[in-house]
A and B are shown apart, each in its own frame.
Chain A
Amino acid sequence: MRAAALLTAALLLLLSGCGDGGVRDVTVAREIEDLELIRAMGVDRTEDGVRVTLASAREIASGGEEKSGGGNEAVVLSQSAGTVSQAVARMQSFGSKGVFYGHIGSYLVGETLARDGIRDYLDYVERNPEMRLETDLYVIRAGTANGAIAAMTGEGYDINERLEFLQENADLSADTHPVTVRMFLIRTERYGSTICPALRLTEHREGDGARGDSALLPDGFAVLTDGRLRGYLDGEAAYGASLLMNETSEDTVTVTAPGGVRVALTLSDCRTRVRPEFDRDGTLTALRVTTRLRAGVDEVEGRLDLESMAVTEALCRSLETLERSRMEEALALAKSWNADCFGLGARAALAAPFRWREEAWSPAAVPVIVEVEAQVERSYDSFQSA
């Protein structure tokens, strides 16, 4: 029995590819308390390479409450080098703990580096066994990742809290949604272009909920073609981008009802489909983007007969007009960069796989027709309830 057990174990070791890169790599023991858990990683362009900035997670006391005191605050490490790997390797010797990348949740890219192209710098994320492709990707608009991390990390607060909040509560706002490194790479490979959320470091103002002197706020989406930053979709275009990407799960919009009464509507169900249109010769003539929305009345500033079909119809038309203009604005910007950052071509190809010709599709040349069908449902009538 002992011989058989040993033989089995030996065979399993062989199956593992024991040797270089095999068992030895997966059996390196490190005590968890000797590790500095990095939660955010930022990469910026420097004159002779890159600057990598790391922010560790703040430690939590055994009782669950966050500890106060310098030793337990988030640690920010920064190093410039020719490559990300080199910078990261140099930082291993910093501090009293080993740097551990297995808990990185956010990958921040400075705008300068984004303009040069981030694809090459994501290669480190792909190859490092500790890092995860599920890491969220952000572009720091008009700033550097190092600046954002440094500004947002201080006594009693760190950038990770903010980034975690943005990731976990992305559903609350329709002008941003998280994009992971995996999604970014796949979309870049398939569509050529894609979007990723942009963050802007601003000065702290009263009421923005930020701690410290700065605030890190979502600021639309960065559009990247082949990994290079082309521009930003912000404002109404950002809402349109989320609709086009089918990422709007919840949003609140304000429309004007007959009589000038302002009504807040909450979008609850948004679905966008893309269909190609061909002429008799099979030539692609247009893409038709159809968005179906369902919304409930959230707030009415004035008296309004919500049971009236005419009022409901008017609310629907107003909502359709608003959302159509948002999407058209986003599409117009994308068209100006000749970027299919919403993957319209790939989605249209799935809708008509046998008639689709890839070479016929060009974001700049093929018109995109936007249709919005809205359905407004009355949630409750406060006057009748009273």
Chain B
Amino acid sequence: MRLFRRKPVPVPPHTRRAADYPGALSARALRDLLGGDADFAARELWLGGDPEKPAALFWLDGMTQGEKLAGELLRPLSEDQRLKQAGSPEETVQLLLRGGLWCAAVRRVDTLDGAARALMGGSAVLIPDGAAFGLACMVRTEERRSVEAPENEKVTKGSREAFSEELRVNTALVRKRLRTPRLRIAEEIVGRESLTPVDVLYVDGLTDPALVEEVRRRLGKIDTDELFAAAWLEEYLIDQRTIFPLILTTERTDKLCSHLMEGRVGLLADGLPTAYILPVTLPQFLRAMQDNASRPLMSSVLRVLRYLSVLVTLLLPAFYTAVATFHQEMIPTRFALSIIASKQDVPFVTTMEVLIMLLAFEILQEAGLRLPQNIGQTVSIIGGLVVGQAAVDAKIVSPVVLIVVAAAGITGYTMPNQDFANALRLWRFLICVAAALMGLFGITIAMAVMLYRLASLETFGVPYLTPFTGPPRRPGQRSALLRLPARQVKLRDSVLHPQNEREQR
């Protein structure tokens, strides 16, 4: 095995401690820490209007809402006469905690680090003069993107609520849809600098506690400075290296709720309008929420079509390369003659033609994604029709190759999950190269390697190819290929070890 492994290069350790500012809290210390920041704001107060009881209020401009600050903090702090009458600082604090402040959430902070984090989270921190503690009052701004329809997972019938970047809005959307008090939302803070809250959602009494524990353990092990990108969470949670996605992402609230009720765990990270679902198996990536919006027969047909599309998008260019280069006897004679005629004067061999067109297709797709939507569509149309036709006319590629690559590309768009579609795109290249080297024999080897790889994958103990591998499906469980009528789905998937396997009477 040393033959295939590089010698490890030593890297410096991540040595900083978890608490950035361990010192004692005071108004002066907080000013020293954040006073140089442009958005740092502070105001001196007299509690209850008593000059004998000065205090300082700190907040970050833009993170807080001015109305809340004025109405829920400044007004009661300056007008409440009970504060004036309070004796000791401790009595003042108790009064503030128990109704003296009108904001909904108030908590005591005793460290500089805690106060700083509270400010970053949208709280205002009140520090009575001379006190070594403060009160963090939640006056966070409500300005956020409204709940919008999903962009990538559209359905003709059904909910049009998509997650947004605001974590609490997202958890509220889940709560609104899944009203059981047994829905648990546990929070972990990920990222030393970004301090990103990541919520773990599951249904108590249904989801396997060991699964929840393992997810939280892996979240807790993440030791990084920031968590911003959508793929990072997946990469940190999954140890295995593969191009195939091992965590299902969705922007639909109903999809997350549906999976939670099947016994899976959901993750929501602040700042990401995406929910993560785990553990998942390959069939989950071929299911669309639209399936549940159509009649079972129609959904089943579409689902089978998606499986066929997987084969077409994966194998069609490779199959064409193989039969046109190695197995010409497999092609019907008239079609073979058509191919020969279309390839007259084309300077490239079939393999190069296919690879060039596949590469051009990927470039066009990438260009379409990077550009604004309207221009992107134009690029796709111009690229697909005009450039394609021009390439055929110029005898750079043959029309058959154009059709083959276009058909493979278009069938790839039927995949409900973009990550899964991307994995198929990469494997399409590999299989095509294998076909160019050894024809159908090469395709067989490449497919065997891919299946071997898929069969060796698992997410949180669940084999990736379930239910195609493992124990047979029990009557009443969901089918991977077909969408059974809702009444017939009685049992949850046993590989998830749900505490309650029975789904309905």
Contacts and interface: CB of A to CB of B under 8 A. Distances in A.
Interface of A: 1-5, 8-9, 12-13, 16, 23, 26-33, 35, 37, 39, 57-62, 64, 67, 100, 102-103, 105, 130, 132
A29 B338 contact: no
Interface of B: 1, 3-4, 241, 324-326, 328-329, 331, 333-334, 336-344, 346, 349-350, 398-399, 436-442, 444-445, 448-449, 452-453, 456
Given A37-B336, A37-B337, A58-B337, A27 B449 contact: no
A59 B341 contact: yes
Nearest to B348: A31
A27 B322 CA distance: 9
Contacts of B437: 27
**Most interface-central of A3, A32, A103 (chain B CB within 10 A):** A32
A35 B3 CA distance: 43
Contact of B4 (A2, A28, A61): A2
Given A5-B449, A62-B399, A102-B328, A27 B341 contact: no
Contacts of B333: 37, 39, 57, 103, 105
A33 B336 contact: no
A32 B340 contact: yes
Contacts of A29: 325-326, 436, 439
A12 B341 contact: no
A32 B449 contact: no
Contacts of B336: 32, 37, 103
Contacts of B440: 26
Given A27-B437, A27-B439, A31-B349, A64 B449 contact: no
B324 A32 contact: yes
Contact of A62 (B1, B325, B338, B439): B338
Decide if the interface of chain B is mainly helix, strand, loop or mixed.
helix
A35 B449 CA distance: 32
Contacts of A100: 328-329
Contacts of B448: 8-9, 12
A26 B337 contact: no
Contacts of A30: 325-326, 328
A102 B449 CA distance: 30
Contacts of A32: 324-325, 328, 331, 336, 339-340, 343, 350
Given A8-B448, A16-B441, A62-B399, A37 B340 contact: yes
A12 B450 CA distance: 14
Contacts of B1: 3
Given A8-B445, A32-B331, A62-B399, 20 more contacts: A3-B4, A5-B449, A8-B452, A26-B326, A26-B441, A30-B328, A31-B343, A32-B336, A32-B350, A33-B343, A33-B344, A37-B333, A57-B333, A58-B337, A59-B341, A64-B338, A67-B341, A100-B329, A102-B328, A132-B329
B241 A60 contact: no
A27 B337 contact: no
Nearest to B323: A32
